[in-house]
Amino acid sequence: MRSSLALIAAIVLALVIAAISQTRAQAPDRLLIDSVHLVDPETGVVTRDRALVIEDGRLADILPAGAALEARERIDGAGRYVTPGLWDSHVHALGDVEDALDRVLPMFIAYGVTHVRDMASNLDRLQTVRAAIAEDSSRIAPTMLAAGPLLIEQEVRWYGDIQRAVGGPGAPEQAVEELAGAGVDFLKAYTGLSAESYAAVMAAADARGLPVDGHVPDSMGLIGVIDAGQRTIEHLDISAFLSCAGGPDGAFGNHIAIRFSVGMEAHMRNLAAFWDAFDWRTCGPALERFGARGGALTPTLSMEMRERGMIPEGALNRLSAGSRDWCLQGLEEIDAAPEEVRAAAYAALRGALLRVKAAGVTLLAGTDTPNHCIIAGLGLAAELELLAQAGLSPLEVLQSATANPARLFGAPGGVERGAPADFILLDANPLEDVTAYRAPSGVYTQGRWFDDAALEALREAGRTDQGE
């Protein structure tokens, strides 16, 4: 069954690629997308009735709609809204090379995600995927920043071949040197690193000019990683902030055992109690220092707020069989927890996010795809809606998936004259309706234009028919 579905997906994807390749072969020297409204992600200003002029993959000019300009192809934007292409700043997209190239990576484009940050992957798979994309210009994939394997003190069974143990003299330096030589874009520090290994990783990374992102080792605590210069903190969860509410040996140190051994209701109660006990007086100033130097948090709310009703339509039939079983099991556990317990946990989480934002920490939209019912591309739209429900303004939501990651990670492009064209078309104004991100009607990225029909074909090619 899986092989048949994979064949169908490959055929559909091949047809899409062929159509795009034909368009490119007959492509205009100048593409003009007319009658659109531009949403500035920095200011929230909407500039109405404009035409985008694209030449050689760059945004050559922005003119009034209806401008008398020769173009081999003129696309009617029909009053849609243009934003820069979206970022998913926390994904794990390379679990299987064939599936990544044929289905997962195109799915990001299908939902307007033109940039991803892969937060842990096997180095051989990463290099294989990158080589395949570089060698075949017809491949459809987002621009990808990647860490390679996560750096951990000692390997644990759960993380298989996406980890690199760095415990022991000289091991951190050797790992950093090898990963830097392999062309990773940054390093991912993981929970469990000893203080000695963490310090060695940071020093070696600094010497090679590599930023360090990731989790908060218990040995360092929140304040420790902030003062050490870590660029990002991943996940708004107990593990990352544990040192500010009791530490690993305190009341919340057994949070993982509670989640996986006691049950979801106990986990939800523990989550609410954790944020109630959080020492903002001690850790608040550290978060302010973090924010002042440009530090960022990727909250991945979808990992904690996984109500059945929060899963986008069509998600389950895009899951692999194993992922679907894990997803449904988790949903059943959540359903069994009392509604008031879930509500209290989610309220505590939302409140914590607003406190972190108030400290000036940059927020990045990320999903942790493909974990816990989260689908490539489609999952980001759900994450953005959760951020809005938590109290971020529509402009802040947009910034979390565009301006903030672009600034932090130094990615050029967007909707600026002279820059590489990288943008999406939305049917509604995202500053008025955050559900507008669910299904873009146009995407331009890496010199290619995907219209509504091409995007829908990519979405269909992403189906596994594992849903109910």
DSSP codes of every residue in 179-191: HHHTT-SSEEE-T
Name residue 86's beta-bridge partners. Answer: 113
The structure tokens listed for 202 are: 């940071």
**For 196-218, what is the mean pLDDT?**
98
How many CB atoms within 10 Å of residue 447?
16
Categorize the per-residue pLDDT at 413 as very low, low, confident or very high, splitting at 50, 70 and 90: confident
Evaluate if residue 308 carries a pLDDT over 90: no
Q: Cα separations (Å) of 442 from 52, 110, 423?
A: 13, 9, 8
Q: Are residues 289 and 336 in the same domain?
A: yes
**157 inside domain:** yes
Q: Are 383 and 442 members of one domain?
A: no
What are φ and ψ of residue 383, in 5° steps? -60, -40
Query: Quick one: 230 and 292 in the same domain?
Result: yes
List pLDDT tens digits, range 134-185.
Answer: 999 999 999 999 999 999 999 998 899 999 999 999 999 999 999 999 999 9
* Mean pLDDT computed over every residue of the chain: 92
Q: Are 11 and 373 in contact (CB under 8 A)?
A: no
Residues 31-54, mean pLDDT to the nearest whole number: 96
Asked if 26 and 65 sit in the same domain, the reply is: yes
On whether residue 250 sits in a domain, the answer given is yes
CA–CA separation, 402 vs 47, rounded Å?
17
Report yes or no on 186 lying in a domain: yes
- How many C-beta atoms lie closer than 10 Å to residue 384's C-beta? 26
User: Is residue 372 included in any domain, yes or no?
Assistant: yes
pLDDT at 37 (0 to 100): 98
Q: How many domains does the chain have?
A: 2
385 and 438 in a single domain? The answer is: no
Are 319 and 436 in a shared domain? no
Please give the residue range of the domain that contains residue 434: 2-84+414-461
Query: Which of 394, 409, 424 is the last residue before a domain boundary?
Result: 409
Do 361 and 291 touch, CB atoms closer than 8 A? yes
Tens of pLDDT, residues 109-126: 999 999 999 999 999 999
What does the pLDDT read at residue 20?
52
The answer to whether residue 388 sits within a structural domain is yes
The arithmetic mean of pLDDT across residues 423-450, rounded, is 97
CA distance 396 to 387: 9
Separation between Cα atoms, residue 376 and residue 93, nearest integer Å: 8
